C-alpha cells in the first residue's frame, strides 16, 4: 500500500468533508499547543489565545488535552540525560470580555508515567517514514526521567500527577481592520505547580506578546504571535533556566466551510536550559497539523498532531484535542 504524506492525507480528508458542508467561511484559530518537554515545562510559555473571543460581558470556556510521548537520551562530557515518558496535560481555561479587553485564566493538570502510546507511535513513525530517534533502544511502557550536570546533584523526576502553574493573561486590540487584526497581550504565571515534579518553578513568571491575523483571500488566513517571557527561577538547582525566553507562532488557516477548517502551525521557543549542550534542552521548533469544527451551538472542537521537526529538541509526538465554548456571541 503506498504511503501518503501526513499533510496530504489530512488535506484530502478535510477537502472531502468540506465538499459536504455549508459554503460560508469561519475565522482563523491558532491551536493552543506548547512544548511538552518534561524537563523544561516549568518555564512560562503562554498558550496561543483565541482571537475569536467572548464579547464584552460574556464568558468563554475551554478544555484542551495534550498527550505526548518521547524517548530521548544524551551523554556529553558534562551532561547525562534519560527521558522515557508519556505526559497527559489537561489545560482548563476560563475567559471573559471586559470592554475592549479579553481576560483569561488557565490551570494545567499534568500527569507523567510510562504510558500506552509507545507501540502506536513506533508504528506511526514507520508508516510515515519519520525518524525513530532513540526509541528502538528502549523497551515499551518504561518510565524514567533523569538528568545530571557535572558538579551538581542528579535530578530524578518521579511519575505522578500535579497541578501546573496558574496563568493569568489579558489582551486587547491594538489595530483592527476589515481584513487584519493586531492584539497586545500580557501574562503572569503564579507558582501553583510542583517543583519536585517540574510542573512549576516556584516563582512568578511574566510574558508579553503581540498576536495578529491577516486575510490572504476568501478562504485563507495567516495568523501568528511573537513575544518574550521572563522566567522567575528554575524548578531545580540541577537544571538552571534562562531568565529570558523568546517564543513565536506562525500558522496558515484554511476555512473550508463555515464550520470546518484546517491549520498548519509552527511553534518556536529559544533555549530554556542555561549553558546546556543537549539538544533536548535547547531551542525547539514544532509543526502542528490540525483541524477544527464549529458546532451549531458555537462551540469549537479542534484536534491536531504535533511533530518535532527539529528532531530531538522536543517530544517525539504530541496529540491535541480541545473544545472551546463561548457563552456570548463571538466578536467579529
Assign 3-class secondary structure to the chain: CCCCCHHHHHHHHHHHHHHCCCCCCCCCCCCCCCCCCCCCCCCCCCCCCCCCCECECCEEEEEEEEEEEEEEEEECCCEEEEEEEEEEEEEEEEEEEECCEEEEEEEEEEEEECCCCHHHHHHHHHHHCCCCCCHHHCCCCCCEEEEEECCCCCEECCCEEEECCEEEEEEEEEEECCCEEEEEEEEEEECCCCCCCCCCCCCCEEEEEEEEEEECCCCEEEEEEEEEEECCCCCECCECECCEEEEEEEEEEEECCCCEEEEEEEEEECCCECCCCCHHHCCEEEEEEEEEEECCCCCEEEEEEEEECCCCCCCCEEEEEEEEEECCCECC
CATH code of the domain in which 222 resides? 2.40.160.40
∠ Cα 326 327 329 (to 5°): 75
Of the pLDDT bands very low, low, confident and very high (cuts 50, 70, 90), residue 55 is confident
Within a domain: residue 228? Answer: yes
Q: pLDDT, tens digit, for every residue of 71-87?
A: 999 999 999 999 999 99
Is the pLDDT score of 130 beyond 80?
no
What is the pLDDT at residue 3?
Answer: 38
Taking alpha carbons only, the member of 249, 205, 253 closest to residue 227 is: 249
∠ Cα 31 207 320 (to 5°): 20
Within a domain: residue 153? Answer: no
4-13, 32-41, 66-75 — which is least confidently predicted?
4-13
Within a domain: residue 83? Answer: no
Within a domain: residue 118? Answer: no
Mean pLDDT of the chain: 87
C-alpha cell at 243: 531568565
Within a domain: residue 184? Answer: yes
Residue 302 · residue 274 · CB < 8 Å: no
Is the pLDDT score of 241 beyond 90?
yes
Domain count, the chain: 1
Q: pLDDT, tens digit, for every residue of 202-240?
A: 999 999 999 999 999 889 999 999 999 999 988 888 899
What is the reported pTM? 0.87
Q: What percent of the chain has pLDDT over 90?
A: 68
| Boundaries of domain holding 269 | 6-70+89-110+159-326
Residues pairing with 291 in the sheet: 262, 303
Integer CA distances (angstroms), 33 to 173, 219, 277, in order? 22, 23, 25
How far apart CA 198 and CA 233 sit, in angstroms, is: 12
Within a domain: residue 189? Answer: yes
Residue 160 · residue 196 · CB < 8 Å: no
What is the pLDDT at residue 131?
Answer: 73
How far apart CA 17 and CA 327 sit, in angstroms, is: 27
Within a domain: residue 59? Answer: yes
- Residues with Cβ within 8 Å of 18's Cβ and at least 6 positions away in sequence, in order, are 256, 257, 260
* 197 vs 133, residue with greater confidence: 197
Is the pLDDT score of 325 beyond 70?
yes
C-alpha cell at 132: 525513530
Within a domain: residue 116? Answer: no
CA atoms within 13 Å, Cβ hemisphere of 94 = 4
How far apart CA 209 and CA 170 sit, in angstroms, is: 11
Amino acid at each position: 500500500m503506498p504511503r501518503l504524506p501526513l499533510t496530504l492525507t489530512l488535506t484530502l480528508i478535510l477537502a472531502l468533508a468540506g465538499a459536504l458542508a455549508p459554503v460560508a467561511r469561519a475565522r482563523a484559530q491558532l491551536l493552543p499547543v506548547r512544548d511538552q518537554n518534561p524537563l523544561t515545562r516549568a518555564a512560562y510559555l503562554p498558550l496561543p489565545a483565541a482571537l475569536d473571543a467572548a464579547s464584552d460581558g460574556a464568558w468563554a470556556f475551554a478544555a484542551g488535552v495534550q498527550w505526548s510521548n518521547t524517548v530521548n537520551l544524551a551523554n556529553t562530557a558534562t551532561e547525562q540525560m534519560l527521558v522515557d515518558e508519556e505526559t497527559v496535560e489537561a489545560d482548563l481555561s476560563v475567559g471573559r470580555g471586559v470592554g475592549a479587553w479579553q481576560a483569561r485564566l488557565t490551570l494545567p493538570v499534568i500527569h507523567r508515567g510510562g504510558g500506552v502510546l509507545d507501540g502506536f507511535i513506533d508504528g506511526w513513525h514507520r508508516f510515515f517514514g519519520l525518524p525513530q530517534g532513540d526509541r528502538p533502544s528502549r523497551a515499551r511502557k518504561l518510565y524514567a526521567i533523569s538528568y545530571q550536570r557535572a558538579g551538581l546533584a542528579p535530578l530524578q523526576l518521579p511519575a505522578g500527577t500535579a497541578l501546573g502553574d496558574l496563568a493569568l493573561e489579558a489582551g486587547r486590540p491594538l489595530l483592527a481592520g476589515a481584513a487584519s487584526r493586531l492584539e497586545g497581550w500580557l501574562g503572569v504565571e503564579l507558582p501553583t505547580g510542583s517543583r519536585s515534579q517540574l510542573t512549576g518553578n516556584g516563582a512568578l513568571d511574566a510574558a508579553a506578546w503581540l498576536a495578529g491575523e491577516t486575510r490572504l483571500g476568501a478562504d485563507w488566513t495567516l495568523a501568528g504571535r511573537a513575544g518574550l517571557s521572563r522566567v522567575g527561577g528554575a524548578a531545580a538547582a540541577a537544571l538552571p533556566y534562562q531568565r529570558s525566553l523568546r517564543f513565536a507562532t506562525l500558522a496558515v488557516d484554511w476555512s473550508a466551510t463555515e464550520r470546518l477548517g484546517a491549520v498548519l502551525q509552527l511553534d518556536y521557543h529559544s533555549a530554556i536550559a542555561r549553558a546546556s549542550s543537549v539538544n533536548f534542552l535547547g531551542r525547539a521548533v514544532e509543526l502542528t497539523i490540525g483541524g477544527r469544527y464549529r458546532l451549531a451551538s458555537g462551540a469549537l472542537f479542534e484536534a491536531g498532531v504535533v511533530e518535532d521537526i527539529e528532531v530531538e529538541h522536543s517530544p517525539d509526538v504530541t496529540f491535541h484535542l480541545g473544545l472551546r465554548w463561548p457563552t456570548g456571541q463571538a466578536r467579529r
